Amino acid sequence: MDIKFRITKYLAVSALAMLLLGACSKNNIYINYPDEENNGGSSGSGNDDNNGNPAKENALITFSASVEGRNITRAMSPMGKGLQSWLCAYTANTSNNITGAPVAQGNYVTSSPGVLTGNLGYKMYLSNAIYSFYAVSCNSTSPAPTFTNGLSEPLSNGVDYLWWHAVHQDIASSQVNIPITYQHAATQVVVAIAGGENITLNKILSATITPPKPGAIMDLSTGIITSEVSYDKAADMGINDFTVQYIMLPVKSSSPMTLTLELMVNGESFSRTYTTPLTPPNNLLSAGNSYLFRAVINENSISFANVSVKEWTEVDESGNPLYPVQD
């Protein structure tokens, strides 16, 4: 009787084992043992706070960039290849004030026109929340200025500072592309030169202008660069054909700048030098504006037909206009 019982028990256990092995071929079997101290608490899977799924915690933020040609018309074009930018993110607040360090920041370069790629493989990851984003560039291969508590280091003339912001952006998915539309934060003076009565222009040898003193500061939250009221020593202007230009810090002054031109005219074997005051319209050269002065060269003087705000004149790394101003 005892032998018969043991055989029956053995067959039953073997059948159960075969059943379990068959089930394991399709599904994993987990046995949760109660935690005696915690009265059967967490399963320990690590998914209760999404730590097991980084995509639910950290969103990849990518950026594309364009530059406005003029603050009034909002015309824009993709940012050129090889140009540096600094991008950062702050936790959003109702006042949009900036204090302390950003929650994320990195240096980027346009790997192709309009496409920003993090330097040295940097990628920006943020947890799902609401952020305010800021970006600054010198619109060149040089790095952007550094910022501390939302204020820049002292800035220089001759630099095409760009600025952008997007506040209260809700990051709620695993990957978000944010388009950047940069605005010009400095100001630009362009002089288109024409010959007057009995004057035929042959060539511009040099051009200088007295910009404001350097050292102005940019507020990262607004992109505003403080306006200067006094002028520095003369700086060389970029030249293309009969157009000269210079990018400078914003100006607020009733005093004129000084423009000096060295020209070859009328086929002469010697150059002529003309020096003239250049007064900012309404005593202002505002951030983001490109001011076109149309100068007429007379026998012994320079006169100005008019001044207008126009599309930003694009320049090369040396500050020379890429294209002369067209009438």
Contact (Cβ atoms closer than 8 angstroms) between residue 247 and residue 319: yes
Taking alpha carbons only, the member of 130, 156, 157, 152 closest to residue 221 is: 152
**Which residues partner with 127 through β-bridges?**
58
Contact (Cβ atoms closer than 8 angstroms) between residue 309 and residue 290: yes
Domains of the chain: 54-184 (2.60.40.3730), 187-310 (2.60.40.2630)
- Residue 75: predicted pLDDT: 62
- Residue 76: predicted pLDDT: 74
Contact (Cβ atoms closer than 8 angstroms) between residue 311 and residue 77: no
- Residue 97: predicted pLDDT: 83
pTM of the shown model: 0.80
Splitting the chain (327 residues) into consecutive groups of 10 residues, what average pLDDT does each group show?
A: 46 43 39 36 32 57 89 70 96 86 96 95 96 97 96 96 96 94 96 95 97 96 93 96 96 95 97 95 92 95 90 84 70
Strand bridging mode 175-184 / 58-68 = parallel
- Residue 150: predicted pLDDT: 95
What is the spatial distance between Cα 181 and Cα 175, in angstroms, rounded to a whole number?
20
- Residue 327: predicted pLDDT: 54
- Residue 99: predicted pLDDT: 82
Handedness of CA 180, 247, 192, 241 (dihedral sign): negative
- Residue 326: predicted pLDDT: 58
